[in-house]
Amino acid sequence: MTKPLENRLALVTGASRGIGAHTALALAGAGAHVILTARTEGGLSEVEEKIHQAGGTATIAPLDLMNGEHIDQLAQHIANRWGKLDILVLNAGQLGPLSPLSHIPPKDWEKVIGVNLTAPYRLIRGFDALLRQSDKGRVIGISSGAATDPRAYWGPYAASKAGLEALLDSYAEEVANITNVRVAVVNPGGTRTAMRKSAFPSEDPESLKGPDVVAQALLNLLVEDFETKRRLSLPKKV
Residues in the chain, total: 238
Over the Cα atoms of the chain, what is R_g? 17
Q: Distance between CA atoms of 126 and 76, rounded to whole angstroms?
A: 8
SS3 for 167-201 is HHHHHHHHHCCCCCCEEEEEECCCECCHHHHHHCC
Dihedral of CA atoms 10, 47, 63, 28 in degrees, nearest 10, equals 0
From 121, 153, 157, 171, the catalytic residue: 157
Chain residue whose CB lies nearest ligand NAP: 18
Question: Which string of DSSP letters, residue by residue, matches 215-230?
Answer: HHHHHHHHHH---TTE
Q: Is 121 a catalytic residue?
A: no
Sign, Cα dihedral of 223, 226, 232, 238: negative
Q: How far is the CB of 202 from ligand NAP (least distance, A)?
A: 15
Our CB check for ligand NAP shows the closer of 66 and 162 to be: 66
Q: How far is the CB of 217 from ligand NAP (least distance, A)?
A: 12
Q: How far is the CB of 177 from ligand NAP (least distance, A)?
A: 29
Q: How far is the CB of 62 from ligand NAP (least distance, A)?
A: 8
Taking each continuous run of H as one helix and of E as one strand, the counts in the chain are 8, 7
Our CB check for ligand NAP shows the closer of 134 and 143 to be: 143
Our CB check for ligand NAP shows the closer of 20 and 29 to be: 20
Name the site residues for ligand NAP (rule: CB under 6 A).
Answer: 14, 16-20, 38-40, 43, 64-66, 91-94, 115, 142, 144, 188, 190-191, 193-196, 211
Our CB check for ligand NAP shows the closer of 115 and 130 to be: 115
Which of the residues are catalytic? 157
